[in-house]
A = this chain, B = another copy of it.
Amino acid sequence: MSLPTTITAMHVKDIRYPTSIQLDGSDAMHKSPDYSCCYVILETDGPLTGHGHTFTVGKGTDVVCYAADIMKKYVVGRKLDAIFNNFGQYWHEVTCDDQFRWIGPEKGVTHMATAAVMNAIWDLWAKIEGKPLWKLLVDMDAEQLVNCIDFSYIEDVLTKEEAIGILKGMDATKATREAEMRETGYPIYTTSCGWLGYSDEKITKLATEAMSQGFSRFKMKVGQDVKDDIRRAAIFRKVIGPDRIWCVDANQVWGIQQAIDWMTALAPYKPLWIEEPTSPDDILGHAAIAKALNPLGIGVATGEMCHNRVMFKQFLQAGALQFCQIDACRLGGVNEVIAVILMATKFNVPVCPHAGGVGLCELVQHYAMFDYIRCCGTLENRMTEFADHLHEHMCDPVVVRNGHYMPQKEPGFLVGMKAQSLSDYEYPVGAAWQKLFDEGVFKRDHAHENN
């Protein structure tokens, strides 16, 4: 196979799945999400293509696609060697265009578009090397890997030299941990039993089934009504017993004191963490909640909406999170995620990646493996999220065995969504959407038709 040297084209697609019909993924903030993504395909002068995406929940996916499309000018025509040899610098160039930067910077729509593009480039790199991303990251020379990071604004807590030191310090023992991962996989918890829209009966049924499949770690959505939450907590604890791990997730609906009060009411059910108790921007608020809940044995988890490495840096500095939930698409792709994993390693805070959505499980497994094998070297208090939906659309869906992710074998990162899914669920033109419109299940959003 001739290896590609140049990116020759970039395509951006708005892909949406009508998950709101079943209330899969419903929580206190996102009552009715349609799991979606901005999907990027890179073509090259060889047969290989790179696939990346950023997860969204329906409306607004087109805005991210619009922004990603503009980024073609940083991508198409570029030599791959020039990118891979100075990846940190290239990342900085893309995120710091002196005009485009203004509408971020490094946050929201533009940064999510960055994620999709960068993840597609990494997917391509891994495919060129013939390795799954986690293995590419595990094998790569420490200097070259660290060279992929933009250290702007984080050097006060992590220098290039420290980052290299962390990676090199683990190299002597990494083969053992890699073998362990290939044998038993990385521990996961499931969110699929406890969506807010699910009935008590459905929770009981799903949690019982999950235990029979080997799951011992669970998460439940909370935050709409405290009495409801207490009832659902009691049901959940009764089903899973006193020793299995159980976490709760409020998806940002509380103020500071409200979070403390609500979690005090749920404390008897022994949650390991409260996830996203308040605004994802409120570092000092999270720190206050963490301090108040510490005596109750409850940690604070957050990160799925933490928008860049500068914010994660401060969450770590302030002791505002006890579980660092990196997301694979909200940060600006692999380059920025590995920076955050290295900072968390330095602060000795466990990384427990956010997943679910569509394609997130497929992505974060790589980070969990990389983190264990080459950064923190421990599984203590570590687990990665799993949600059981939409995997049927993935070319290489995540493999779960006995409550663990088994390491991906296929070369690449996202690898890709199935061509049929990309065609059927492209919004609004795909056949699946046309059918839903025709049946009147969904109304097409006409916002942009008269422009």
Contacts and interface: CB of A to CB of B under 8 A. Distances in A.
Contacts of A104: 108-109
A60 B70 contact: yes
17 contacts: A30-B99, A31-B98, A34-B99, A57-B98, A60-B67, A60-B102, A60-B103, A61-B103, A63-B67, A66-B66, A105-B305, A106-B281, A107-B307, A279-B310, A281-B310, A282-B314, A285-B310
By size class, the interface of chain A is: 35 or more
Contacts of A73: 447
Given A59-B100, A283-B283, 15 more contacts: A30-B99, A60-B67, A60-B70, A60-B99, A62-B66, A63-B63, A73-B447, A105-B252, A105-B280, A107-B107, A107-B108, A109-B109, A155-B257, A281-B307, A282-B310
A122 to B, nearest CB: 22
B285 A56 contact: no
How many of these chains are in the complex? 2
B278 A103 contact: no
A297 interface: no
A318 interface: yes
A69 B59 CA distance: 13
A59 B29 contact: no
Nearest to A258: B155
Interface in A265-296: 278-285, 288
A184 interface: no
Contacts of A59: 70, 97, 99-100
A348 interface: no
B67 A314 contact: no
A30 B98 contact: yes
Interface of A: 29-34, 56-64, 66-67, 69-70, 72-73, 96-112, 152-153, 155-156, 252, 255-257, 278-285, 288, 305, 307-308, 310-311, 313-314, 317-318, 447-448, 451
Contacts of A110: 60, 63, 108-109
A10 B403 CA distance: 52
A436 B114 CA distance: 30
A111 B278 CA distance: 19
A214 B397 CA distance: 69
A284 B70 contact: no
Residue in A61, A70, A96, A102 with the greatest tally of chain B CB atoms within 10 Å: A102
